[in-house]
Structure formats: structure tokens, C-alpha cells
Structure 1
Amino acid sequence: MTSTHTHDGGVARSGVALREIGHKAHRMNRLGRRFLGANLAVLGVAILMIAVAANEMFINDHDRRLLMWVLVPAVLSAAMVAMLMARPVARDAKRICDAAMRVADGDLSARTGVVRNDELGEAAEMFDVMVDRLNAIEAERSLMLSSISHDLRTPLAALRAAVEAIRDGVAEDPDLYLAGMERQVRALTFLVDDLQLHTRLVSGTLQLSRARIDLTELADESMEIVRPLAESRSVKLLLEATERVMVDADGSQLARVIRNLLDNAIRHAPNGSVVLVQVVRNERSVTLRVHDEGLGFPAEFRDRAFEPFTRADPARDTRTGTAGLGLSIARGIVSAHNGTVVLGDGPGGDVRISLPIPAVS
């Protein structure tokens, strides 16, 4: 509680400090005074030099008085121009200060509204870009918390119900309850692992242990790991590959991507259907395709499929996966290998990974 209070107090003090600075700047109009002072200083120096030059050139008194009368309107005009130039600058500076105060108070919808073709305009544009990024981060944070809390609620509720049933002696088959509890604990473990990996990908701290590996063999091994799940749903796994293709990659991380795609395809494939894995060598790359005969990706989901915590299932049913990090993690890992991940046109679910083929040394 203490740290939260300190943080809120710090934000409040920052907002108050910004507000005081903004009001002070508006009241004193320091920019206008500086513009005026600079112009008057330049004119003063010009008048002094003209007076010295006139004296040295022996200009008579009549001409000297005439010259001074010409300079007086020039001084007044310069002062007026200085004030006119300072006014929009001061106004736009105040807009930036007001926007900064609103952001400090937690309003991430604040924008400066300043459009200028100078350094002040660039500062205002950069400020708006910064707030846009803060807004995106806050939206992702809110989505993350909402998604995690939703995905934790179901397995925790199931665990609690199973524990209470065993404790109260109402579980007719305790072993069956324990098996269900094991599945929920496994789901929680997968969720935590995905969150940790997502954090490492976002922070750029994922370390890859690259080695020359056979992508076809890696795909075959991944299929063997998920085969029990496929058999439980009467789904047949089929691998199509005409040759072995070597890539420089972290085998464990790349295998995780393939397993995630296979797991997702099996869960969405109709019973008795086929999940196809194809490995096709191109001129400078290799494509691994995972295809199922399900309904495929909804049109409204395709544009945001690789965003974190996004799922095609709006109900976030844990039976079809958790957290909505699978495709996001796949993109992050494949990007770390200088590859790409795209959704195929279907029909059915279709995800394609492209990886560069190392040059033959």
C-alpha cells in the first residue's frame, strides 16, 4: 500500500508541477518578451551604429534629425512584428503544456493540435507520437490483464472444485479428479511459459542457440509429440516433404513454434480429418505449412491474428488454447530467425513459415 500511495503522490505532484509551469509561462508570456527584447536589441545596435556613422560622415543636424524620425516608426513596427510573431508561438507552446498536463493527469487522449513547419511543430508532433505509443501500451496492458485474469479463472475454478470435492469426500473417483487437476495445472504451466516467452520476445532478451538442423526431421519429431492429442480427436497427421532441408536455427524454439501450430490445427480440425504439414524448398528459403480442414480464420480476425492476447474465439474457451499468444510467439521466434509467418488463404486453417536457407560454404 505504501508504494502505491507514493506512486500516486508522485504522479499528482508531477501534474501539479506541470500545471504551475504552464500557468506561469502563460502569465509572463516569456516568449513574447524575448522576441521583443531581441528585436529591440538589434534595432538599438543599428541605431547606435547609424548615429556613429552619421557623426563620422559629418551629416548635418537636419539630416540627422530626419534619419532619427525615420528610425522611430521602424522601431515601433519591429516591436509590433515581434509581438505578432510571438503570439502564435506562445499559443502553441501553451497547447503543448496543456496536453502534457492532461497526459500527466492520466488522459491519454490528449493531443496538442499544433501544426507548424518549424522546430516547435516537430516537438508537438513527436509529443503526439509519444502519447499514441503510450496509449497503445496502455491498451495492450489492459488487454493482457483482462486476458490473463480470464484464462486463469477457469483452471483455478476447476482446481478449487476438485479440491473441495476430494476434501469433502464427495468425489466418487478421486483418481479421475486428480487427472483433471493435472490437466488444469498443465494448462496453467503452459500459460505461464507463454507469458514468460512473450515477455522475453517483447524485451528483446530471447537468446537463440543456433545450429544447423534438418527442418523436415524437426517437423516429424514435433508431430510425434502431439500425436496423442491428434489420436484422441481422431485426427490424422500427414507430413509431405520431398527432401531434407537444413536451416540455421534454435531447434528447441523452432520446435515450439511447430508444436503450437500443430496443437492449434488439431484443436480446430473436425474429427476424422487430416492435419497436413508440408516442407517445401524454394530458391533461397524453405516454407513449412501447417494446414487443417477446419473453418479457418475468420475474416475479422486475420488482420490482428499476430497481435498478442488476440484469439479467434471471442469466448476465450480454454479448451481451444489459452492467452492468445500462440501466433504472436510464433511470429516473434520466426522473426528472430530472420523469417516470416503468414496466414494462407485456405480453405481451412493455413499457417506458413518461411525461413532463409544458409549459403553452402
Structure 2
Amino acid sequence: MAHSEPTSGAELQHRAHGMNRLGRRFLGANLAVLGVAMMMIAIAAQTMFISGHDQRFLMWTLIPAVMAAALVAMLLARPVARDAKRICSAAMKVADGDLSARTGVRRNDELGEAAEMFDVMVDRLDTVEKERSLMLGSISHDLRTPLAALRAAVEAIRDGVAPDPDMYLIGMERQVRALSSLVDDLQLHSRIVSGTFELNRTRLDLTELADEAMETLRPLAEQRRVKLLLEAEQRVILDADGSQLARVVRNLLDNASRHAPPGSVVLVQISQADGTALLRVIDEGAGFPADFRDRAFEPFTRVDEARDLRTGTAGLGLSIAKGIVTAHSGTVGLGDGPGGIVEIRLPL
């Protein structure tokens, strides 16, 4: 199978300049029309349909009319050729890796639609590239710290300089769990983004599910000297994927307990009204900064730009929570403080 060679920038530039031929093609078309018309007049004169005087009159009338039409066609072709050059120029810049290039073409015709679609395509490519760069930077940063800690611990145990090998092993186990959690989050995030995420719905009690999630997180919260409380006036029954919804609650509780001050309370409130279940996770921390609220549910975004492992890992918790809740036809958002408040609404 023959493989085509990649088109060089010089070739593209040559093609872009070739758009000047557009006006010449319009002129050629008009001259062709003139030639055909004159031929038809000559044939009509030969067959005695028109007189010689009428033939000469039509010839001299037709020539300036067609030439005027050709001039108008060339003038109309100019902006078309100019905008086509802009599209080609933007395409060359994008091909060279400049995703900031845009056509700048605004027209109410098919060429304008093509330029608009090109700009939309480049916008999406730019967004994907930024997300890819952010993802790679975040993952590499989040992997570096636990891997460095594991390497240091292994070297210390191997060289016999670890004062307490058992404590080193406990620390290594903690780092391995952090890495496993990161890999799990990345896999789930990939499934949500790719559209392969599926739910296994069952009839469940949201209050009971939240209580079980709190029992799982309670030992960790107590280590941080944070108390977990559940407030629910009634049982809330709905159709949902219990394992995935429990993951959302655990993520929110983990985030809340990380940012709650020692000696404070993280409160989970559950209620229902108008066919909707409401779950709120409230902590007594500083809350979400104003400049973070608009991007809180974007992947790999964290309040702590230094990405300290004590305040989280890849920054996928809220993004995954949004993906799971959206798959349940629900909504998730941030409530107004004081403190940090995350609200989830699910259809009953």
C-alpha cells in the first residue's frame, strides 16, 4: 500500500497563494460564456434567423456586457479568495502546533460556515490539549511524592539504616494505598469521560448508604480529630447504583474531613422534597475560595495548588462525583458557606 508523504508548509503556502486563481477562473468562465454566445449568434446569422445588421449589433452589445459581468465577478471573487487564504493560513498554523490560530472570517455563506466550524474544531483541540497537559502534570506530580517515599524506605531497609523497619513498612503500605487509589480514580474518570461508564441500579435507602459510608471513613476522620454526624428526618428510597453512590459520599466525606479543622464536625444532611432527594456534606473549614468555585468540578483541579498529599491527590474527587451523579440524572453543586458545602440532588 502506498503511503502519501506529509504535506509541507511550503506546499500549503503555495496552495494558499493559488487562491488568487479564483478571479482568473471567474474571468475565464465569463469569456467562455461570451464565446458560446457569439458562436450562437453567428450560427443564427448563417441560418438567416437574424440579419447581418442585427448580428453586428448583438456582437458589440454582448462584448461589453460580458466584460462588465467578468469585472463584477472578479471583484466579488476578491473577498472570497482573501477569506480562503485566511482559512489556509490558520490551517497551516494549526498544523505547525499553534492552537491559538483562528481564521477571523465572518461571512453569511458556506465559506463563513466552514471557517466557523474550523474555529470551533481548533477551540476543542485547544481545550483537549490543555486538559492533557494538566492531566500529565498533575499525575506526574502526584506520583512523584509516593514513589520517592517508597524508594527512600526501600533503600533504608535494604541498607539496614531504618531504625524501625515495621514503621517503614507501614509507611510504604500507606503510599501503595495512595497509588492504588490514584489508579482507581484515573480508571473511573476515563470511563466517565469516554462514555463507557454504566450503572447497576437497585432500590436502596440513601440514609442507610450514607451511614455505612460514614462508618467506613470514621476511623480516618478520628485520626484527624474530626467528628462525623448524620442528620436525617426520614428514610429516602431511590433507584441508584449503590456502590458508585457510596463512592461519591466517601469522596465528599474524605475531602470534608481533610479540610475541616481539628475538633470540628462534618455533617451529612439527607432530606427529600418534590420528588428529589437532597444530600448535603457540610464542614466547618474555610470553604471553597471564590476563584475556585467555578472550576471546582473540573478534573485535576485542587484548592491546594502545591498538591500536598495531606489535602488530596489527583484532584479527581469532585469531578468523579459529578460524573456519577450526572449519570444518575442528578445534579451536584457548591452551597454557600460558612464552611464547605457540597449539595447533591437525585431524582426519586
Bucket of the pairwise TM-score, normalised by the shorter protein: over 0.9
Hey, what does 1:7 align to over in structure 2? Answer: none
2:313 is the counterpart of 1:322? yes
Q: Do the aligned residues in 1 keep the contact of 2:16 with 2:89 (CA within 8 Å)?
A: no
Distance 1:184 1:25 in 2: 56
Which range moved further: 191-200 or 98-107?
A: 98-107
Q: Do the aligned residues in 2 keep the contact of 1:236 with 1:274 (CA within 8 Å)?
A: yes
Residues 190 and 231 of structure 1, relative CA distance in 2, 3 Å threshold = same
Distance 1:344 1:43 in 2: 74
Hey, what does 1:219 align to over in structure 2? Answer: 210
From 6, 13, 20, the counterpart of 1:14? 6
Distance 1:42 1:211 in 2: 74
From 246, 251, 273, the counterpart of 1:255? 246
Hey, what does 2:61 align to over in structure 1? Answer: 70
From 335, 338, 344, the counterpart of 1:347? 338
Distance 1:57 1:217 in 2: 101
By how many angstroms is 1:54 displaced? 7.0
From 231, 235, 246, the counterpart of 1:240? 231
By how many angstroms is 1:104 displaced? 1.1
Residues 19 and 130 of structure 1, relative CA distance in 2, 3 Å threshold = farther
| Equivalent position SS for 2:103 | coil
Distance 2:229 2:272 in 1: 18
By how many angstroms is 1:89 displaced? 1.3
- The amino acid of 2:326's aligned partner reads S
Q: For residues 171-226 of structure 1, give each alpha carbon's deviation from its aligned partner in whole angstroms, at most 9, with x where no partner exists.
A: 11111111111111100111111111111111011121111111111111100100
Residues 28 and 243 of structure 1, relative CA distance in 2, 3 Å threshold = closer
Instruction: Give matches, 1:137-152, under 5 Å.
Output: 137-152=128-143
Hey, what does 1:86 align to over in structure 2? Answer: 77
Hey, what does 1:133 align to over in structure 2? Answer: 124
By how many angstroms is 1:77 displaced? 0.9
Hey, what does 1:337 align to over in structure 2? Answer: 328
Residues 242 and 28 of structure 1, relative CA distance in 2, 3 Å threshold = closer
From 194, 206, 211, the counterpart of 2:185? 194
- The amino acid of 2:158's aligned partner reads R
Gaps of 5+ in 1: 1-9
Q: Do the aligned residues in 2 keep the contact of 1:15 with 1:104 (CA within 8 Å)?
A: no
| Equivalent position SS for 2:256 | helix
Hey, what does 2:14 align to over in structure 1? Answer: 23
Hey, what does 1:159 align to over in structure 2? Answer: 150
Residues 259 and 166 of structure 1, relative CA distance in 2, 3 Å threshold = same
From 190, 196, 201, the counterpart of 1:205? 196
Number of aligned residues: 346
| Equivalent position SS for 1:341 | strand
Q: Do the aligned residues in 2 keep the contact of 1:22 with 1:94 (CA within 8 Å)?
A: no
Q: Do the aligned residues in 1 keep the contact of 2:45 with 2:52 (CA within 8 Å)?
A: no
| Equivalent position SS for 1:14 | coil
Runs of 4 or more, structure 1, over 3 Å off, are: 27-30, 37-60
Residues 40 and 248 of structure 1, relative CA distance in 2, 3 Å threshold = farther
Q: Do the aligned residues in 1 keep the contact of 2:240 with 2:328 (CA within 8 Å)?
A: yes
| Equivalent position SS for 1:275 | strand
Q: For residues 295-336 of structure 1, give each alpha carbon's deviation from its aligned partner in whole angstroms, at most 9, with x where no partner exists.
A: 000111001101110000111101111001111111111111
Please report the RMSD computed on the Cα atoms of aligned residues, expressed in angstroms.
2.0
Hey, what does 1:38 align to over in structure 2? Answer: 29
- The amino acid of 2:330's aligned partner reads G
By how many angstroms is 1:91 displaced? 1.9
Hey, what does 1:295 align to over in structure 2? Answer: 286
Q: For residues 229-252 of structure 1, give each alpha carbon's deviation from its aligned partner in whole angstroms, at most 9, with x where no partner exists.
A: 111122111111111111111111
- The amino acid of 1:111's aligned partner reads R
Q: TM-score, normalised by structure 1?
A: 0.90
Q: For residues 54-84 of structure 1, give each alpha carbon's deviation from its aligned partner in whole angstroms, at most 9, with x where no partner exists.
A: 7778544333322221111112112212221
Distance 1:286 1:103 in 2: 47
By how many angstroms is 1:27 displaced? 3.5
